[in-house]
Structure 1
Amino acid sequence: MTSQETAPPRKAPGQGTATPRLIGVDAARGAALLGMMATHLMPTFGPAPQWEPTMVGLVFSGRSAALFAVLAGIGLALTTGKQQPRSGAELWSARGGVAMRALVIAVVGLTLGGLDVNVAVILVHYAVLFLCILPFLGLQLKALCFWAAGWIVGSPVLAYLIRPMLLDAEPPLQLGHNPGWEDLESPGRLLADLFFTGYYPVCQWISYLLVGLVIGRLALTTAKVQLMLLTCGIVAASVAKVLGTLAMEAWGGRAALSVLPGTRGYPLESMLQVNLTGLQQVDSWWWLATASPHAGTTLDLVHTSGVAAAVVGFFLLLGRVSERVGVNVLILLSGPGAMTLSLYSAHVWVVSSFTNQPLPAGWTDEGMYWAQALCAISIGVCFAVLGRRGPLEWVAHLASRLGSYRPAAVG
């Protein structure tokens, strides 16, 4: 979630401009940040009793968070050799840096977890994903492709088989809230929630970082690869969504799931379009046939990964245009995208101050979103112009340097 994951730090004014890759990747991350903020601040379902999906729910739910994770994999690939992964001592040094960065992100996430906020904070899961991906950092592109495909196909089945056992435990091994410092006292429950029963199940979400590693090992500065990401991403996302919709609406999936006792609350039809969070997704193999946001199924992983690839390809192409015209046309997104850890954390803290309280007089959900979005953009642009890292990005960068330090051999 920090710009240091994607490329070397941007230069200060007068020392040259950022590379197109950094601009495009940071812009994609900025778009993901604004999309997640939209799902946090604006309704994803309409009013009762219909609970119709809103445009925000239909467009951003599930996709923005997945884009963050894919971008994390891309960033790790770019900092561990790009097209040629590091090996030997250099690889172990890079792994140490990634592990220390993960520690910083986890500390921030556990601290935010103590806030009373109606937001599913992703940072602790994000940190665990960084640790889980360490063994894959030295793999070549072909091997990564096989691992990514296998994980996308196999992890949803594994989760479906294991999750009921964890939920049937007494008490259930599920937090029902954001991970916080107090949860370290029950490590079994915390790990079960992080990997299988929580909002961002690491078991399936490793797929996103593997997809990101695959993308990051490509020649991202070439127009051919950028166009391939855009077109193949759109095709993959579209095919997965069509298959999921057919399975639910034409082949009997929704009818079979609607009779299960755990699907009461929001209308299942709306949840299948917006978010399956809150449904335990047990007692029917039909759950594995959906492409719904936050379903964690193969079709969901393919769809959201495809969307992420297309978004990255799109912004990389715009970064190419930006380089040719000599103007950073993406700075409104690449600025905040270069310091998302700081801005995301500030966003969660601000939202917590309004949780379970009425908005100030004259404010609406949309107004609150645009106010925070404009603040994030303004702050990000200012830091970009000054050539500075965000405060939490600076801490993460320092931790990464400490973790990757290897004393020079004496001979």
Structure 2
Amino acid sequence: MTSHGTAPQQEGAGAGPVSARLKGIDAARGAALLGMMSTHLMPTFGPSPQWEPTFVGLVFSGRSSALFAVLAGVGLALSTGKQEPRSGAGLWAARGGVALRALVIAVVGFVLGGLDVNVAVILVHYALLFLCVLPFLGLRLKALCFLAFGWILASPVLAYLVRPLLLDATPPLQLGHNPKAEDLETPGRLLADLFFTGYYPVFQWISYLLVGLAIGRLALTTAKVQLLLLAGGTVVAVVAKAAGFLAMESWGGRAALEALPGTRGYPLESMLQVNLTGLQQVDSWWWLATAAPHAGTTLDLLHTGGTAAAVVGLFLLLGTVAERAKVNFLILLSGPGAMTLSLYSAHVWVVSGFTNKPLPAGWTPEGMYWAQAIAAIIIGAFFSLLRRRGPLEWVAHQASRLGSYRPAAVG
């Protein structure tokens, strides 16, 4: 089982009943969940010494987690006014709801972080991302677009400058494991890992939520916007990936990185296609020219953010088709997509039972994946047909209601 995983996220404070949600958004989240599960359970690299990337590694690594983060931003936008953001007391109430929802997600994340599991659990990072975007929930579309683009350009450079200072500290300000409750005893190290030195650097990942907020401020029910997301996201993703390939393979980037002491012995050619986990990405500005998954560079953020936008556009179009045909064929994805916090947590718990242990006789990683994927689809569809939230979604929703409550004025 591989260690690079993602985690799901639900809509922001005040999310409406399941029946009122955009099915395309839930379906996109369900697709991301299944893609994430594949990277947890199936190999992303072939056997040594070639270490050739597998289909799962090439297609899903890095993209599923980015899609979840972008969808988190979309959900926040939908729950805070859609095209017209809330203001005044309504905005502050929404922020309170988002903050308490983030607290629930963080608690679940710390619990999962205490498991012995080789999955990079992202829930604590997601909770922190929710808190970080609270100041931006009242921004309109134009401001969000400029802010998102600026963050995508600047945050990787600033992170590249800050990261070596944190890694050179004694001891290094990096966890090397999933965040867990015990790490609260060393808050400086925990925050440094969450923001800069860990697997999902929140500082750069704020870009995804800003992109999602901007998408959520669009008229998502119109075919024009859906096609724009699909076409525009595809173009951005292709151009960013092509630029990264040229920088590495044609302009000398990979050769320069392979010469660094910290990369010797690593199959860098394959890692640039799948995942840069394990490499510190220091001592060369060429690191900023890669579009590799989980690189956290401008090109990586553009590629994965563009891919996420295209997927959102595609599933919104499919949702429109399903609505007009009056056939809910998206339920196989929208069902699990509406309760990903519960399903993701259950998935991580199940995977922990097989970590560092042989699989049961007759089972393969592929079989384990399909068993869990089918179970997730059945459970999600069942809850959807009953019009019920998942158990953890219910808890998060109640927390959101509590946080957004404002007593009525008297007199």
TM class, shorter-length? over 0.9
Deviation at 1:4, TM superposition (A): 4.3
In 2, Cα distance between equivalents of 1:297 and 1:222: 32
The match for 2:140 is 140
Task: Return the TM-score normalized by structure 1.
Answer: 0.97
Q: Give the AA of the match of 1:36.
A: M
In 1, Cα distance between equivalents of 2:375 and 2:312: 24
In 1, Cα distance between equivalents of 2:235 and 2:295: 20
Deviation at 1:69, TM superposition (A): 0.2
How do 1:206-355 residues align onto structure 2 when only pairs under 5 Å count? Answer: 206-355=206-355
The match for 2:18 is 10
In 1, Cα distance between equivalents of 2:136 and 2:261: 40
> Could you report, residue by residue, the CA deviation over 1:9-47 in whole angstroms, capped at 9, with x for unpaired residues?
124xxxxxx45xx20000000000001100000000000
- Secondary structure of the residue that 1:46 maps to in structure 2? coil
In 2, Cα distance between equivalents of 1:264 and 1:307: 31
In 1, Cα distance between equivalents of 2:270 and 2:10: 36
Q: Give the AA of the match of 1:8.
A: G
State yes or no: 1:189 paired with 2:189. Answer: yes
> Could you report, residue by residue, the CA deviation over 1:72-105 in whole angstroms, capped at 9, with x for unpaired residues?
0000000000000000000000000000000000
Whether contact under 8 Å (1:262, 1:279) holds in the other structure is yes
- Secondary structure of the residue that 1:361 maps to in structure 2? coil
Whether contact under 8 Å (1:277, 1:294) holds in the other structure is yes
Whether contact under 8 Å (2:288, 2:297) holds in the other structure is yes
In 2, Cα distance between equivalents of 1:49 and 1:200: 28
How do 1:324-403 residues align onto structure 2 when only pairs under 5 Å count? Answer: 324-403=324-403
In 1, Cα distance between equivalents of 2:18 and 2:387: 6
- Secondary structure of the residue that 1:47 maps to in structure 2? coil
Deviation at 1:3, TM superposition (A): 4.6
Deviation at 1:266, TM superposition (A): 3.4
In 2, Cα distance between equivalents of 1:2 and 1:142: 25
Whether contact under 8 Å (1:2, 1:393) holds in the other structure is no
Deviation at 1:222, TM superposition (A): 0.3
> Unpaired runs of 5+ in structure 2?
1-7
> Could you report, residue by residue, the CA deviation over 1:50-83 in whole angstroms, capped at 9, with x for unpaired residues?
1000000000000000000000000000000000
Whether contact under 8 Å (1:23, 1:319) holds in the other structure is yes
Gap change, CA 1:407 and 1:203, over 3 Å in 2: same
Whether contact under 8 Å (2:11, 2:72) holds in the other structure is no
- Secondary structure of the residue that 1:5 maps to in structure 2? coil
The percent identity for this pair of structures is 82
Q: Give the AA of the match of 1:243.
A: A
State yes or no: 1:100 paired with 2:85. Answer: no
The match for 1:15 is none
The match for 2:90 is 90
How do 1:11-26 residues align onto structure 2 when only pairs under 5 Å count? Answer: 11=19, 18=20, 22-26=22-26
Deviation at 1:2, TM superposition (A): 5.0
Whether contact under 8 Å (1:2, 1:338) holds in the other structure is no
In 1, Cα distance between equivalents of 2:265 and 2:354: 25
- Secondary structure of the residue that 2:18 maps to in structure 1? coil
In 1, Cα distance between equivalents of 2:160 and 2:346: 35
Deviation at 1:264, TM superposition (A): 3.2
How do 1:194-209 residues align onto structure 2 when only pairs under 5 Å count? Answer: 194-209=194-209
CA-atom RMSD in angstroms: 0.9
> Could you report, residue by residue, the CA deviation over 1:166-192 in whole angstroms, capped at 9, with x for unpaired residues?
000011000000000000000000000
Task: Return the TM-score normalized by structure 2.
Answer: 0.97
